[in-house]
Amino acid sequence: MLFFLLTTVTSIFAQGRVVSGAVSDEKGTPLPGVSIRIKGSPGGALTSTDGTFSLRVPANAKVLQFTSLNMEPKDVALSNNSNTLSVTMTSTSASLQEVVVMGYQSVAKKDVVGPVSTIAGKEVAQKPIASFTQELQGKAPGVQVTGQSGRPGQNAFIRIRGSGSINASNEPLIIIDGLPVAAAAFSLLNPNDIETITILKDAASTSVYGARGANGVIVITTKRGKGKPELRYSFQYGHSKKLPLYNLTSMNAQQKLQYEYEGQYTNGLLDTMINNRKASGAFPAGATLFNIPEAQRQDLWNTLISRSSNWEDLLFQNAITKSHEIALSGAEGRIRYYFSLNSTDYQGILYASDFKRTGGRLNVEYQATDWFKLGTNLGVSFSKDNQLREPFNTQNTNAGFYLINPYEQARLANGNYNPTLQGLNPLEGTDFNPQQIKKLSSFSTIFGEAKFLKHLTVKSQLGINYNTFNEEYYLMPGSNLANILGYNQKRVQANQDYLLVYTNTANWTQTLGGKHTFSLLGGMEFNKDKVYNIQLIARGFPTASVNTLDNASTPNTTSTSRSDWSLISYFANGSYDYKKKYFITLSARRDGSSRFGKDVQFANFGGVGLAWDIKSENFIKWGSLSSLRVRASYGTAGNNNIGNYDALGTYALNARYNNQGAAIPARLPNPELTWETNKNYDFGLDAAFFNNRLTFRADYYNRKTQNLLYPVNVSATTGFTSYTGNIGGLVNKGYELSIGGDIIRKKDFTWNVSVNYTNNDNKITQLYNDNQVAANTGSIGWLKVGEAINTFKLVQYAGVDPQTGKDQYYKKDGTITTTFPSSEAVLLSGKSPNIKYFGSINTSINYKNFDLSAQFYYSGGNYIMNYMWQVGASNGESINIPQFTEAFNYWKKPGDVVPYANLNDPTQNQTFDDTRWLQKGDYLSLRDVTLGYNLEGSMLSHLKILKGLRLYVQGTNLLMFTKFKGQPEVGLANGESAVQPGVYNLYAYPQFRSVTFGIDVKF
């Protein structure tokens, strides 16, 4: 095309005159590659690298049009008197920031109708956390974020405006550069590559994503180059440590031995010591722990304690996090680019836990002609994770601390690991049963975009998210677990997940008569996801030093499997405004999902949004008001987050009996299985005062879910307990408030404070089968119309009887019994794992070159079944494992008013799931503090090559205020149990506190 243009210039318009000149930006920097066209005539030129140009123009030419990426287009009238021009173009970058990426299109921020929250990339960058999802906490009202656990690379649970579903996923749809990405890939996206995160919450915004927008949509855009080339190097170094359990103290060795003695329990180590002393004659034949003199007993204890190890130091480590990053970005004429490379090493706080990631990104846009643009966003990342297991036993390192007694030793006299009384030492397991996970992810989109007829843009994009997952789990020969199982074994699992998204859109935008602006978008999208799994197991390795399966003598399992889903979508979106005063948007969408019954695969979704900019009306005269706008929207969105083939009644053929093929019923059919739909109302108000120094935003929302996807119970006598069906409805309603103020706004000194608050009320409105146990809640969560989902149903605890020392429980009729009455459990109205309110308090101060920011996050209104407390204060039921010091406060004599029953009454040596262990999950945490020092511009002018320098120190989870016994931020119970988040805790990878130092240098 360039060639074509140049030829025309020289051949046809040989007559006329030559105009030459220079083009620069506001700062006087020459702009290369600016396209210059002659209005009304074909032909043109580009500026050279020094910003100059020379162009032959016909005699009748009057205006030259200058266009360049990131610059506002400029028309310059030709003067008859002069053949030289000096053109200054202004950067569009300022207005670029005001654009919100809404999904298939970008909308100027002032034209956005819905309650959209935008988070700048820098708010999630440079933290010692691999997955950006954890960093969204507190950043926007209505977006409730709970870290799943403290495992490096772990994602967060995100709930936008409450849990709209019971069993289908409640996670929002996350779209990275137009590509809906699988959760497994989140930790592989470098958070520093993120330009903006847009959170779409209401129907006006999400319904264009209809199909899967029911839980909200998070749209992530990675960085684009702009301006002059810039090279940035960032380095970060940090230390992390386990957060303590709050309000609980573990017994030390002496205390634990005393407690065991009081509970008349002789542990295996003491038992052996006593037997040895009996055999040697040091103790008489009938000696027991309870009949030897106190001095001898203490002597035994001291011997034991002297051998014991400091398990806290061994199981937990002072984790070091390190990261390096180089990024090069810029824009020049027709091309924009952003290129980055990063390498991070996040140690986890558990022994030998480590997550390493290396990756790169290249985003390029090329304006091939003035009407055709093409581009690509390519991200590739590789991670290596020394995965630690998380079951409820000592194969879980964190559980090891709560299950291995403090008087135990980590290694035996011969230097080998001590299996401990638990039979498995997590340190030994980590060393000799390594589990390593390698992931490779690529996020790639390529697109072409053409502009026609002034107002029409047609875009075609192909996106691929390719994730591989490779796990190697080796039970080394000679390892404790291999000896227990009677074989050594290596398991290799490889998984490929290939998601292809093909999107085509056409967009017509036009302003008529300066008053009426309308935009129409139409498009289609096709998603196809294929997962391919390989599993290989072999046994009989000769030695631990070799670990590839060719070394094994006995092949065991060779297996592959596949699974796939697809989604076809058609959508249209229209928006119109009159004088930027009255806004309306309409959207419609039709989606078909392979997961539903054949005749009900398709569903229609749609939404309407209205906004009124009251400030621009003439009748508003209040001087201090800088803006005022009201909004309303209504629409529908869907949810199809269930298994791939849940509608089909099938027999599985992948079973075997006696090493021969077998067919077993796999699923009951449900040909009527269809979309869960969400009707979403939103009313909002935005206001700003005093030249935008004080901003205020409020929203009320009401999300009604219908056709909830959930396992429908059937009688277990049918051989099944459920099938997937649409079972009822629920509602989430609440309000979001945010207030921000610039308390000080001076040239060298700014201080702002912002607060946001969200209140969410979750309630089941309809169930075809009311009053049933909720799946994946350990049978303590319940579903009942009028209550929040997973509301706890427990027997009510009535305290310890001061006279008898027995635990007491209430029956439904109010009477008290000392026999645990499991059938007397009552639904605890209002007590559920659903967080009812949350938000954050943020402040930042900039003084000259210093900046200081802090974020407090608070969350509450939820209840948590505290199993870690129950196990550690167990009335003697778990006297063989570590207990918390408060367990000493047990009943000893009539009249004692104490929290724990008589330790020496065997009928009381048992704990039950009763209300005693159910605790409020309220907390306030100082999540983040950052102090930075910046050197820029003039201060660095004598250092020619350096454009900017930033040094900072950042702290995470520095303070916590809670009454909960333990860690109140409960995500996963543990990594190996399928429990609804927040229902109970069970030794998940603990959260951490960290301090990080960083440096950013720009060249």
Partner 1 sequence: MKKKIIYLSFAAALLLNGCKKSELDLFPYNQEETGQAFNTQSDVTLAVNGMYQGITASGSYYNGAWNIVPDLLADNLIINQAGRLSQKLYGEWRYTASATYPLFNGGYTIIRRANAILENIDKFPAGAFHDNAMGEALAVRALVHFDMSRVYSKTYANASASDLTVPYVTVTDPSIKPSNETVKGLYDKVIADLTQAASLVGTTNGVYRFNKNSVNAILSRVYLYKADYANTITTATAALGASPNVADIATFPKIWTDETTTGVLFKIANTSLDNINTQGTNYYQIVGGQIKSEYVVEYNFFQQFASNDVRKSSYIQTSPYNGVSYNHVIKYGGRPGGAAGVIDAKVIRAAEVLLNRAEAYYRSGLESSALADLQLLKRNRYTGYVNEVLAGQALLNEILRQRRLELAFEGDRFFDLKRLGLPVVRDQTHGEKADGSGTPYVFGTLAASDFRFQLPLPQAEITFNDNLKQNPGY
Residue of 58, 244, 263, 522 that binds partner 1 (CB under 8 A) = 522
* Burial class (CB within 10 angstroms; exposed 0-12, middle 13-18, buried 19+) of 458: middle
Closest separation between CB of residue 99 and partner 1, Å?
Answer: 23
| Interface with partner 1, residue 685, by CB under 8 A | no
Looking at the Cβ atoms of 72 and 770, the one nearer to partner 1 is 770
Closest separation between CB of residue 927 and partner 1, Å?
Answer: 38
Q: Looking only at residues 686 through 715 of this chain, which bind partner 1 when binding is defined by CB under 8 A?
A: 713-715
Write out 835-904 in H/E/C secondary structure. CCEEEEEEEEEEECCEEEEEEEEEEECCEEECHHHHHHCCCCCCCCCCCEHHHHCECCCCCCCCCECCCC
Backbone angles phi, psi at 116, to 5 degrees: -95, 135
| Interface with partner 1, residue 228, by CB under 8 A | no
Q: Which two tokens stand for residue 478?
A: 């000679």
Residue of 72, 75, 271, 936 that binds partner 1 (CB under 8 A) = 271
Residue of 247, 303, 435, 504 that binds partner 1 (CB under 8 A) = 504
Closest separation between CB of residue 899 and partner 1, Å?
Answer: 22
Looking at the Cβ atoms of 284 and 719, the one nearer to partner 1 is 719
Q: Looking only at residues 318 through 377 of this chain, which bind partner 1 when binding is defined by CB under 8 A?
A: 371-372
Number of residues that bind partner 1 (CB under 8 A): 96
465 within 8 A of 441, measured Cβ to Cβ: yes
Measure the CA–CA gap between 668 and 725, rounded to whole angstroms. Answer: 10
Closest separation between CB of residue 929 and partner 1, Å?
Answer: 44
Strands 99-101 and 84-88: unpaired
Closest separation between CB of residue 286 and partner 1, Å?
Answer: 9
Q: Looking only at residues 857 through 896 of this chain, which bind partner 1 when binding is defined by CB under 8 A?
A: 878, 880
Residue 943 parent element (H or E): none
| Interface with partner 1, residue 90, by CB under 8 A | no
Region from 50-58, 64-72, 360-368, 564-572 binding partner 1, contact rule CB under 8 A: 564-572
Looking at the Cβ atoms of 148 and 420, the one nearer to partner 1 is 420
| Interface with partner 1, residue 7, by CB under 8 A | no
Looking at the Cβ atoms of 515 and 598, the one nearer to partner 1 is 598
Q: Which two tokens stand for residue 691?
A: 């030249």
819 within 8 A of 810, measured Cβ to Cβ: no
Task: Tell me how far the alpha carbon of residue 58 is from its chain's centroid.
Answer: 60
Closest separation between CB of residue 505 and partner 1, Å?
Answer: 8
Residue of 415, 661, 814, 895 that binds partner 1 (CB under 8 A) = 661
Q: Looking only at residues 935 through 974 of this chain, which bind partner 1 when binding is defined by CB under 8 A?
A: none
Measure the CA–CA gap between 799 and 407, rounded to whole angstroms. Answer: 32
Closest separation between CB of residue 566 and partner 1, Å?
Answer: 5
Closest separation between CB of residue 731 and partner 1, Å?
Answer: 25
Task: Tell me how far the alpha carbon of residue 423 is from its chain's centroid.
Answer: 36
Backbone angles phi, psi at 393, to 5 degrees: -160, -175
The residue among 789, 682, 777 whose CA lies nearest residue 727 is: 789
Closest separation between CB of residue 70 and partner 1, Å?
Answer: 25
The residue among 993, 938, 874, 981 whose CA lies nearest residue 251 is: 874
Looking at the Cβ atoms of 355 and 402, the one nearer to partner 1 is 402
Q: Looking only at residues 528 through 547 of this chain, which bind partner 1 when binding is defined by CB under 8 A?
A: 528
Closest separation between CB of residue 758 and partner 1, Å?
Answer: 35
Q: Looking only at residues 724 through 783 of this chain, which bind partner 1 when binding is defined by CB under 8 A?
A: 769, 771-773, 779
39 within 8 A of 65, measured Cβ to Cβ: yes
Q: Looking only at residues 408 through 427 of this chain, which bind partner 1 when binding is defined by CB under 8 A?
A: 419, 421-423
723 within 8 A of 695, measured Cβ to Cβ: no
Q: Looking only at residues 898 through 917 of this chain, which bind partner 1 when binding is defined by CB under 8 A?
A: 906, 909-910
| Interface with partner 1, residue 820, by CB under 8 A | yes
Region from 318-326, 666-674, 805-813, 994-1002 binding partner 1, contact rule CB under 8 A: 666-674
133 within 8 A of 191, measured Cβ to Cβ: no
Instruction: Identify the three-state secondary structure at position 481.
Output: helix
Backbone angles phi, psi at 72, to 5 degrees: -70, 135
Looking at the Cβ atoms of 279 and 999, the one nearer to partner 1 is 279
Closest separation between CB of residue 715 and partner 1, Å?
Answer: 5
Beta-ladder partners of 591: 569, 603
| Interface with partner 1, residue 282, by CB under 8 A | no
- DSSP assignment of 576-635 equals EEETTTEEEEEEEEEEEETTS-GGG-EEEEEEEEEEEEGGGSTT---TTEEEEEEEEEEE
DSSP state at residue 191: G
Alpha-carbon distance values, 110 to 100, 290, 611, 627, 1003 (Å): 9, 79, 11, 11, 34
Strands 728-745 and 694-706: antiparallel
Region from 350-358, 380-388, 625-633, 820-828 binding partner 1, contact rule CB under 8 A: 820-828
Q: Looking only at residues 427 through 486 of this chain, which bind partner 1 when binding is defined by CB under 8 A?
A: 450, 452, 456, 458, 460, 480, 483-486
Q: Which two tokens stand for residue 512?
A: 């008529």
Region from 137-145, 223-231, 314-322, 557-565 binding partner 1, contact rule CB under 8 A: 557-565
Residue of 662, 743, 816, 943 that binds partner 1 (CB under 8 A) = 662
Looking at the Cβ atoms of 158 and 775, the one nearer to partner 1 is 775
* Burial class (CB within 10 angstroms; exposed 0-12, middle 13-18, buried 19+) of 558: exposed
Instruction: Identify the three-state secondary structure at position 501.
Output: strand
Residue of 542, 719, 802, 830 that binds partner 1 (CB under 8 A) = 719
Closest separation between CB of residue 103 and partner 1, Å?
Answer: 17
Looking at the Cβ atoms of 250 and 394, the one nearer to partner 1 is 394
Q: Looking only at residues 596 through 635 of this chain, which bind partner 1 when binding is defined by CB under 8 A?
A: 598, 601
- Other CB atoms within 10 Å distance of the CB of residue 417: 19
Residue of 659, 813, 897, 978 that binds partner 1 (CB under 8 A) = 659
Residue of 221, 363, 593, 967 that binds partner 1 (CB under 8 A) = 593
Q: Looking only at residues 636 through 655 of this chain, which bind partner 1 when binding is defined by CB under 8 A?
A: 644-645, 648-655
Closest separation between CB of residue 600 and partner 1, Å?
Answer: 11
Looking at the Cβ atoms of 244 and 778, the one nearer to partner 1 is 778
Measure the CA–CA gap between 245 and 233, rounded to whole angstroms. Answer: 38
Looking at the Cβ atoms of 237 and 265, the one nearer to partner 1 is 265
Measure the CA–CA gap between 243 and 970, rounded to whole angstroms. Answer: 13
Looking at the Cβ atoms of 655 and 743, the one nearer to partner 1 is 655
Looking at the Cβ atoms of 756 and 796, the one nearer to partner 1 is 796
Q: Looking only at residues 565 through 584 of this chain, which bind partner 1 when binding is defined by CB under 8 A?
A: 565-568, 570
Measure the CA–CA gap between 783 and 710, rounded to whole angstroms. Answer: 11
| Interface with partner 1, residue 276, by CB under 8 A | yes
| Interface with partner 1, residue 41, by CB under 8 A | no
Looking at the Cβ atoms of 170 and 422, the one nearer to partner 1 is 422
Measure the CA–CA gap between 49 and 22, rounded to whole angstroms. Answer: 11
Beta-ladder partners of 466: 442, 498
Task: Tell me how far the alpha carbon of residue 562 is from its chain's centroid.
Answer: 27
Q: Looking only at residues 142 through 161 of this chain, which bind partner 1 when binding is defined by CB under 8 A?
A: none
Measure the CA–CA gap between 896 and 891, rounded to whole angstroms. Answer: 6
Region from 151-159, 229-237, 521-529, 887-895 binding partner 1, contact rule CB under 8 A: 521-529
Q: Which amino acid is at 908?
A: Q
Measure the CA–CA gap between 746 and 659, rounded to whole angstroms. Answer: 79
